[in-house]
Amino acid sequence: MFWSKKWHQSLAVALSTTLVLSACSSGSGGNESKPSAGASESTNVDSSSKAPTEKKVIVVDPGGDFTDYAPTTSMEKSDANPHPYNEIRVLADEWEKLHPEAKIEILSPTKSKDRKVAVAQLAAGTAADIIYQIGTFKDEDYPKGWVLPFDKYLDMPNPYAEGNAKWKDLYNESWLNRSGDGQVYYIPIDAVPIGIIYNKELFAKAGIDKPPVTYTEFFDAQQKLKGIGIASYMPIYRWSDITLETAVFANKIKEWDVLTPNGIVDQEEFVRAYKKGLYQVDSPENREYYKLKKEKADGYPNGWNSIDAYKAFVTGKVAMIEAVGIHMRNVQDDKERKFEYGTMPFPILLQEESAYGGANTIRGTAGYATAWQLTNSAAKKGTADLAADFLMYLTTPKNNARLVNNLQAAIPAANGAEAVEMFKPMYDQFQQDYKDGYLTWGAFYAAVLGGSEYGQAYEKLSVDYLLGSISLDKLLVELEKSMKKSVDGIVQQHKYDESKW
C-alpha cells in the first residue's frame, strides 16, 4: 500500500518540483549585503564609481581583559544593567561612514575569551577577524598561523591620529611584547590600573595610620590586622606575585635581557638563561621569593582558595585585596559595601629589607591588558588591511579614551589619552615611577616565561607550598622537573638558533 504506483508518481512530482524551485532560487551566499543597505550607501560613494559591490564584513569579537567591549542590550541604566555601553558601535558607525566598502559586525556576547571556543574557531578558520585572548596564548597561536603580525601596520602612520608618524608611537615600545619570532601580534586597547584596595575603617581599628609602602610596613600592617582578628589580605589573581618576583630577580634582568634588550626578559631570553645555567629554579633568589610569598600568605584567611575575595572584602571580612580597575569600579558602586575604602600601590622591596631588594616594578598600572588580534579569518577573507585600519581608528588617543572610559574599568592604552578621574592617581603614580626608571610590569615572570607545562606546575605546587602541603625543598625539586620538560618543549617548538645565544 505504501509503495503503490500512485504513491511513486506523487513522490516523483514532488521531488521534481523541489528540484526546479531550487534551481530557480538566487542561492546567495552569506556575505551578500542587503540591497537596501547597499542602495543607501551608494549616496556616499563617488558618482563615478561602479554599481555597489559586495561589502566586506569585518567581524569583531570585542572581548576584554576585565570587561568586554561588547554593546549592552540596553542603554538604560538599572541594577541589572549598571554600565550601559555602546561606544564601540558608535565608533564603528563613524568608521563605516569613512569606509562605505566595509561593514563592521560586532559580536555580543563575546566568544573568543573562552579559550576552548577560540581554539576551535581558530583551528577551523571561523574566528572573528578581530578577537581578544589572554596574552599568554599568542605564543602558542602564532606558530600555527592563527594570528597575524601587526608589524607592517605599526610602522605605518595612523591616519586618524593627528601628527602621528608611526602607529607604534602611540604606545610604550617596551610594553609591546614581541613573540618568539620578533613580531607583535596584538594591538593594545587598554591598560589596567592595579594595586590594593583597603578598608579604611579596619585600618583605623588596627591602628594603621597610613597605607604601607614597603614590605616591612606591609607585614607590620598584616600583624596588626591579625591582632584584631581580621584576615588582612587576599589575592584575586597573582599580580602581587609578579611584582615581587620581578623585584627579587631585578638584578638579574640586565644579565638575561640580551637578545632583545628592552627591559623585559622574553621567552627566548629566559630559555637561554635557563639553558646556560644563569637562571636556576633552586636559587637564592627563588628561595627569597617564596619566603616572602609565604610570609604574605600568613595573612590570608583559612581556606582562602575557595573564598570569593571580592565578596569577602565588600562584606568587611578581609581588610585588603589586590585589585584591578574593574574591582575598584565595582567596589565604588557596590551597595553591599558599608565602609570607606582607599587604594594603594603594591609594596616595594627595599635594599634594607632583602639582599635582593632595591629595584621594583612600576606601580599604578600593570601595563597593557586588553589587546586585540587579527586572525587567520581576516587573512582568508581578505579583510586584514581594513580590520587593521579600523583598529587604527579605535586607537587614536581621543577615540581610545571614548572606547575605554565609558566603562570605567581601565585606562586607555594610547599615549596621550585621558584616564577617568577614579584612576588618575594610579596613572600619576605610574608616570612618576616610569620617570624614575622603575622596571616594566612583568619584566620577569617565570610562570609565563617557563611555558605552559611549567606554568601549570607552578600554579598547583606554589599553592601546595603556601598551604603547607609540601616543603620549599620539595617545591623547588618538583618545579625543576617541570621546568626542564617545559623548556625542552619550548626549544623544540620554536626551533631557536642556539648559536645566537
Partner 1 sequence: MGYIKRLYQARLYYLFLLPTLAILLIFGFYPPLSALYHAFTNWNGATAEWIGLQNFKYMLEDSFLIDSVWNMLFLLIAGLITGNAMSLLGAAFVFNLKNSGMSAFFRYMFILPMVVPGVVVLLLWKSLMDPLTGLFNTVLASLGLPHEYGWLGDPAMALSSIVLIGFPWVAGLGFLIYLAGFQSISQEVIEAAKVEGAVGVSRFLRIDLPLVTGQIKLMIVLGIIGGLQGFGVQLVLTKGGPGSATAVPGWLMYEQAFSYSNFGYASMIGFVIFIVILAITFINMKFIKADQ
Site residues (vs partner 1, CB under 8 A): 2, 115-116, 119-120, 122-123, 140, 144, 146, 231, 301-308, 311-312, 315, 317-318, 452-453, 456-457, 460-461, 463-464, 467, 469, 478, 481
Beta carbon of residue 428, minimum distance to partner 1 (angstroms, whole number): 34
Cell 603556601 belongs to: 466
Beta carbon of residue 452, minimum distance to partner 1 (angstroms, whole number): 5
- Smaller CB separation from partner 1, 263 or 301: 301
Beta carbon of residue 455, minimum distance to partner 1 (angstroms, whole number): 9
- Smaller CB separation from partner 1, 214 or 315: 315
Beta carbon of residue 336, minimum distance to partner 1 (angstroms, whole number): 11
Beta strands in 325-476 (DSSP E): 341-344, 364-368, 371-375, 411-412
Beta carbon of residue 116, minimum distance to partner 1 (angstroms, whole number): 4
Strands 341-344 and 130-132: unpaired
Q: How far apart are CA 323 and CA 390, in angstroms?
A: 31
For residue 51, give the C-alpha cell. 554599481
3-state secondary structure of 76: coil
- Smaller CB separation from partner 1, 123 or 204: 123
- Smaller CB separation from partner 1, 90 or 463: 463
Closest CA relative to residue 55, chosen from 17, 102, 112: 102
Q: How far is CA 142 from CA 43, 259, 453, in A?
A: 41, 20, 18
Q: How far is CA 157 from CA 172, 226, 403, 407, in A?
A: 16, 55, 21, 28
Beta carbon of residue 307, minimum distance to partner 1 (angstroms, whole number): 6
Q: How far apart are CA 232 and CA 302, in angstroms?
A: 11
Q: How far apart are CA 480 and CA 36, in angstroms?
A: 64
Q: How far apart are CA 416 and CA 164, in angstroms?
A: 12
Q: Is the CB of residue 74 less than 8 Å from the CB of residue 89?
A: no
Beta carbon of residue 265, minimum distance to partner 1 (angstroms, whole number): 22
| Interacting residues of 84 by C-beta distance below 8 A, sequence separation 6+ | 72, 74, 75, 76, 77
- Smaller CB separation from partner 1, 278 or 491: 491
- Smaller CB separation from partner 1, 119 or 191: 119
Beta carbon of residue 479, minimum distance to partner 1 (angstroms, whole number): 12
Q: Is the CB of residue 370 less than 8 Å from the CB of residue 269?
A: no
- Smaller CB separation from partner 1, 198 or 346: 198
- Smaller CB separation from partner 1, 130 or 314: 314
Longest Cα separation, the chain: 100
Beta carbon of residue 284, minimum distance to partner 1 (angstroms, whole number): 25
Q: How far apart are CA 442 and CA 135, in angstroms?
A: 12
- Smaller CB separation from partner 1, 122 or 366: 122
